[in-house]
């Protein structure tokens, strides 16, 4: 009877940690603090910290690290399972559980790098070099398990950068052509534009220049992604940050060239269409809205991924299991 009772309590604690149900973990440890010692391993020698790490339940791991006493915490962190894997070996594996919603393989790879670095800081430094029974270090396991994900991330970055590079180059060409085609013409003697004092001409000139600069900048950023080494450590900040900047400058160039286009056509349409010219501008500016609908969600996800230093849990109530 005692044995069966212990098995049920062990199962409840470990299942709660596995599925990220923090309330049950807190309740068990509050009612019976010694449960973490009495039932400290499962059938394959993994303790509760191992289980939380395998299933990427960061909120459970953080809670346990705060509640467990320092001497016991160190003992659990140094524990190994039946295959000789430390907690860092388990953190290095590519898990099927993804607590944080990610967009694209590159952002997924960035999450994995952040997660591994986060766990590196939690354990003693020398544990980074310990080998399991297969003679693998945590870094060896990370490189092996993430080989396919790195390949997918590189392909996703390349396809995205190539597509955006074409758009950026097109906008740069249009902006350059627009800038040298001055509305209203220029004076033959001085070369000054006839409409240089008109507010719409100033708007046209400034937005054309801004669109050209933004498109060139975004083109350079996309090319830097295509020519980068694309190593695992590059996914931590470098590549996602460059993609975020590239998309941001591309969006600003699209907005600027649309405003420049509207300002240039103001001189042609103000007398012809009169009141209807504003309805035409509404349709022109609507392109900015649709561009924002397409680009801003990805930019938002990239910004969150770049700005968050510690990997965050997503849907805690459902155990953190989200589709990628």
Distance CA 89, CA 141 (A): 7
Query: In order along the chain (324 residues), what is the average pLDDT of each group of 10 residues?
Result: 42 81 87 71 81 87 83 82 91 74 78 89 88 92 91 90 92 82 60 62 83 94 88 85 93 88 70 61 75 83 80 46 34
And the tokens for 16?
């709660």
Read off the pTM.
0.76
Instruction: Select from 116, 232, 252 the least CA-distant residue to 172.
Output: 252
Distance CA 271, CA 151 (A): 57
And the tokens for 156?
């996703």
- 302 near 107, Cβ under 8 Å? yes
- 141 near 127, Cβ under 8 Å? no
Distance CA 194, CA 185 (A): 6
- In the chain, the domains with their CATH numbers are 2-145 (1.25.40.20), 149-307 (1.20.140)
Distance CA 305, CA 247 (A): 15
pLDDT tens by residue, 190-245: 556 655 666 667 787 888 889 999 999 999 999 999 988 878 888 888 888 999 99
Task: Tell whether the torsion through CA atoms of 304, 308, 310 and 316 is positive or negative.
Answer: negative
Distance CA 222, CA 157 (A): 9
pLDDT tens by residue, 46-74: 888 898 888 888 888 888 888 777 777 88
Q: Map tokens 């008109």 to a residue.
A: 198
The whole-number pLDDT of residue 186 equals 58
């Amino acid at each position: 009877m005692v044995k069966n009772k212990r098995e049920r309590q062990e199962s409840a604690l470990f299942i709660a940690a596995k599925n990220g149900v923090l309330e049950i973990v807190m309740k068990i440890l509050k009612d019976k603090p010694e449960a973490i010692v009495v039932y400290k391993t499962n059938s394959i020698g993994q303790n509760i910290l191992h289980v939380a790490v395998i299933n990427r339940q960061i909120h459970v791991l953080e809670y346990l690290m705060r509640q467990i006493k320092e001497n016991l915490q160190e003992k659990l962190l140094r524990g190994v399972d039946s295959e000789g894997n430390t907690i860092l070996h388990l953190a290095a594996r590519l898990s099927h559980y993804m607590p944080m919603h990610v967009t694209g393989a590159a952002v997924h790879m960035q999450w994995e790098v952040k997660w591994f670095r986060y766990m590196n800081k939690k354990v003693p430094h020398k544990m980074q070099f310990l080998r399991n029974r297969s003679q693998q270090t945590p870094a060896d396991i990370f490189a092996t398990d993430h080989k396919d994900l790195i390949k997918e991330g590189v392909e996703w970055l390349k396809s995205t950068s190539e597509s955006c590079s074409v758009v950026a180059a097109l906008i740069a060409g249009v902006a350059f052509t627009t800038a040298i085609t001055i509305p209203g013409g220029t004076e033959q003697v001085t070369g000054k534009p006839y409409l240089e004092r008109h507010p719409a001409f100033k708007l046209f000139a400034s937005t054309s220049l801004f669109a050209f600069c933004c498109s060139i900048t975004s083109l350079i950023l996309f090319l830097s992604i295509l020519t980068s080494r694309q190593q695992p450590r590059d996914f931590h900040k470098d590549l996602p940050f460059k993609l975020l900047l590239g998309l941001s400058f591309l969006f600003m160039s699209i907005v600027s060239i649309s405003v420049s286009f509207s300002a240039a056509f103001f001189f042609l349409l103000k007398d012809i269409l009169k009141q209807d010219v504003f309805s035409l501008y509404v349709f022109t500016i609507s392109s900015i809205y649709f561009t924002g609908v397409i680009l801003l969600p990805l930019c938002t996800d990239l910004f969150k991924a770049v700005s968050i230093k510690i990997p965050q849990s997503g849907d805690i109530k459902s155990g953190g299991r989200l589709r990628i």
